[in-house]
């Protein structure tokens, strides 16, 4: 069990530890915060912007990306608490205007499936629907041509579109924009005055900007855009300081109560969000399973929940050990951000909570499989993935962005793959950005080859052999 004294001991070493590891991994700027009970230890390093050289402090706000989804899930579970919705009802029963290219799927996809990413909808739509309060409504209207990558409920596939749809559900019942509903029903009761969702709010605070490896020899440069489009807010635009992200996590550890005792979420809803809903096809990329918004990183003893988030040049990490009352968050804005998380957060979980995350996958020697079943082109909205074999027998993956964010991100070079087992390939080299080797899990074998490649949490269907 973690003691307050162990955190007090960490206070004398955390700054030096963060400085050293951030330098080793070329991270532009970072904040780490650890909380146990009423004790918090935090440290900051680097700069908010390589152009200005403004130093990062523990009060700097960072984009937390997809950790925003847990905020949206919390708003949805508030609707359950109030008896306004049933998680197992089709979302179309509450939003009759909702439509997809597959009318049958649209009529059956449940709120629960959206929360745990089993809807089968094509997930990475980042189109711009303007800056108005109706942008989420317009996004959902635009989903009428959105295809299914798999039937509803078939398996897990990470889906940003599904969380925008959940944001629209919140708007429908609250009579407010998602941003306004978030502030009224969650941020204000939490006292989170520096957690924001709009760039004009962020600019009034000490804000970090994202950086990409687009300079000479991969040097970090300021990203060409600061914020993603407002319409994807429910899926990923919350911007917050570490202390307020910790406060959000602690509300979930305190049976849904705010610091002043106000009930933001019922204890039953808090418990439901942490319960396992679906096992993941690939335990190496995200974790063992998914709850209602939360990632179940490990189902071991003690279990670890949380979420990660990535925007254009920023990455955020949140890990919670409920049985030990421990919360750790790491906010970063460029460089080897994933490598820093692996080198800092994983050991902290072990030292402070006795929690072991799943080991990272490593290439194996002597794995002999028929690689022809892997080869081909796989495509979904926003990305095309090609697995090919060269004349020397080496396997390569080429990933091409095709959506609105593609112009803001550097081209992805080909990566060599090697077999890990009969249905999994792994990159021969570790990816510096995420701090580990990337795995590609292949699903549903057929005569033409595997029907899906599952990578980065997403299932992408085969389009050609």
Q: Both tokens of residue 249?
A: 């996590």
Three-state secondary-structure class, residue 27: coil
The three state secondary structure string of 63-109 is ECHHHHHHHHHHHHHHHHHCCCCCCCCEHHHCCCCCCCCCHHHHHHC
**Half-sphere exposure of residue 321: CA atoms within 13 angstroms, side-chain side:** 26
Tell me the HSE value of 176 on the side-chain side, using a 13 A CA sphere. 11
Residues 6+ apart with CB under 8 A from 447: none
Secondary structure class of 321 (helix, strand, coil):
strand
Please identify which of the residues 42, 66, 68, 177 carries the catalytic annotation: 66
Q: Whole-angstrom Cα distance, residue 242 to residue 244?
A: 6
Give the list of residues 6+ apart from residue 224 with CB closer than 8 angstroms, or none: 212, 312, 407, 408
Q: Output the six-digit token pair for 282.
A: 């690939």
63 in Cβ contact with 178 (< 8 Å): no
CA distance 103 to 160: 20
Is residue 161 among the annotated active site residues?
Answer: no
Residue 153: closest CA among 97, 105, 107, 95: 105
Which residues are designated catalytic? 66
């Amino acid at each position: 069990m973690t003691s307050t004294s162990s955190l007090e001991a960490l206070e004398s070493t955390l700054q030096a530890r963060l400085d050293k590891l951030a330098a080793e991994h070329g991270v532009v700027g970072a904040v780490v915060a650890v909380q146990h009970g009423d004790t918090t230890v935090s440290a900051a390093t680097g700069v908010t912007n390589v152009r200005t050289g403004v130093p990062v402090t523990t009060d700097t706000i960072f984009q937390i990306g997809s950790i925003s989804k847990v905020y949206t899930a919390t708003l949805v579970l508030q609707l359950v608490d109030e008896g306004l919705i049933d998680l197992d009802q089709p979302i179309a029963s509450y939003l009759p205007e909702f439509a997809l290219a597959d009318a049958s799927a649209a009529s059956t996809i449940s709120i629960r499936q959206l929360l745990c990413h089993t809807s089968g909808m094509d997930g990475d739509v980042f189109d711009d629907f303007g800056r108005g309060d109706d942008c989420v409504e317009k996004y959902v209207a635009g989903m009428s041509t959105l295809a299914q990558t798999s039937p509803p409920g078939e398996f897990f596939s990470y889906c940003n579109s599904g969380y925008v749809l959940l944001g629209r559900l919140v708007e429908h019942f609250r009579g407010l924009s998602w941003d306004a509903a978030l502030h009224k029903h969650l941020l204000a009761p939490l006292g989170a005055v520096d957690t924001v969702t709009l760039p004009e709010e962020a600019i009034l605070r000490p804000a970090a900007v994202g950086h990409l490896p687009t300079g000479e020899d991969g040097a970090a440069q300021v990203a060409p855009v600061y914020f993603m489009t407002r319409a994807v807010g429910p899926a990923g635009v919350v911007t917050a300081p570490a202390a307020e992200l910790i406060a959000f996590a602690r509300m979930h550890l305190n049976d849904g109560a705010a610091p002043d005792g106000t009930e933001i979420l019922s204890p039953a809803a808090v418990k439901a969000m942490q319960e396992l809903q679906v096992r993941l096809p690939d335990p190496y990329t995200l974790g063992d399973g998914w709850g209602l918004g939360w990632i179940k990183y490990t189902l071991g003893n003690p279990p670890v929940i949380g979420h990660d988030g990535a925007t254009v040049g920023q990455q955020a990490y949140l890990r919670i050990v409920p049985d030990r009352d421990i919360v750790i968050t790491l906010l970063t804005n460029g460089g080897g951000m994933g490598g820093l998380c692996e080198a800092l957060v994983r050991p902290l979980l072990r030292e402070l909570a006795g929690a072991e995350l799943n080991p990272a996958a490593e290439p194996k020697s002597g794995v002999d499989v028929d690689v022809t079943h892997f080869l081909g082109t796989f495509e979904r909205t926003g990305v095309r993935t090609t697995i090919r074999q060269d004349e020397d027998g080496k396997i390569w993956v080429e990933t091409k962005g095709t959506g609105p964010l593609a112009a803001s991100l550097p081209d992805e070079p080909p990566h060599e793959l090697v077999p890990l087992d009969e249905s999994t390939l792994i990159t021969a080299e570790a990816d510096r950005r995420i701090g580990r080797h990337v795995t590609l899990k292949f699903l549903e074998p057929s005569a033409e080859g595997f029907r899906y490649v599952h990578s980065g949490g997403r299932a992408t269907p085969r389009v050609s052999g």
